[in-house]
Amino acid sequence: MNEKRQQEAPQTPSETQKQIKKLSRAEKSVKEYQYFVIRLVVFLAVVWILFFQIVGLTHMNSGDMYPRLDAGDLLLFYRLDKSVKAQDIIVFNKVTPDSGGRKELFVCRVVAVAGDTVEITEDQNLIINGNAMVESNIFYRTPPYEGFTQYPIVLQPGQCFVLADSRMGGNDSRWFGPVNKKEILGTVITVVRRNNL
């Protein structure tokens, strides 16, 4: 009888406190897990907005912009402003004459914008709006590519003319023509040099 009474006897305060502590620990673990998941979702959303809507990251896949940019350099570009100006370096997609209809990624320097008239002469001079351009940051002559872009060319609204800094053989508007605004991915804002990685 005494054993039965002992079994039915209410729990002592210390046992109740232990159970309360266990429950509070479990609730705390659940809350910490929920907090972690919320932080992770917010972090991923910020990364997605930053790197897929505001800025982009790509690498320089050729030596066309040497010596300013070298193959393998990482480029951070700004996506939101597609209104480019002369001397901007832009990242863009373009269907080229030999790509089979597939878009390819390019990085080039803008030399002329909508309304400008561009001509590249046989003696390898770049002429924009009737003026021969003196480019202090370019170390090569600018030969025309035979059988591709016909000069003079007047750029239409939403177009720009781009050239590679390495003018001897670089892939640019001499080959595939003007770049349209809808093909521009963004303007390069910073470079991480390959040899610093």
Q: Which two tokens stand for residue 89?
A: 């370096």
Name the amino acid, one letter, at 195: N
Q: Which of 21-25, 55-59, 72-76 has the lowest mean pLDDT?
A: 21-25
What pLDDT, on the 0 to 100 scale, is given for residue 37?
83
The pLDDT tens digits of the residues spanning 176-193 come to: 999 999 999 999 999 988
* Tokens 């070298």, located at residue: 70
Whether residue 128 is predicted with pLDDT greater than 70 in this model: the reply is yes
pLDDT band of 139, cuts 50, 70, 90? confident
Q: Bridge-partner residues for 13, per DSSP?
A: none
pLDDT band of 197, cuts 50, 70, 90? very low
What pLDDT, on the 0 to 100 scale, is given for residue 8?
53
What pLDDT, on the 0 to 100 scale, is given for residue 136?
82
CB of 47 closer than 8 Å to CB of 53: no
Dihedrals φ, ψ of 119, to 5°?
A: -140, 140
**Closest CA relative to residue 188, chosen from 93, 89, 70:** 89
Task: List all residues 6 or more positions away from 89 whose beta carbon is below 8 Å from its beta carbon.
Answer: 65, 68, 69, 107, 108, 109, 110, 187, 188
CB of 43 closer than 8 Å to CB of 143: no
- Cα 37 off chain centre by: 28
pTM of the model: 0.73
State the Cα–Cα distance between residues 80 and 130, nearest whole angstrom.
32
The pLDDT tens digits of the residues spanning 85-103 come to: 999 999 999 988 777 788 9
Whether residue 4 is predicted with pLDDT greater than 60 in this model: the reply is no
CB of 118 closer than 8 Å to CB of 111: yes
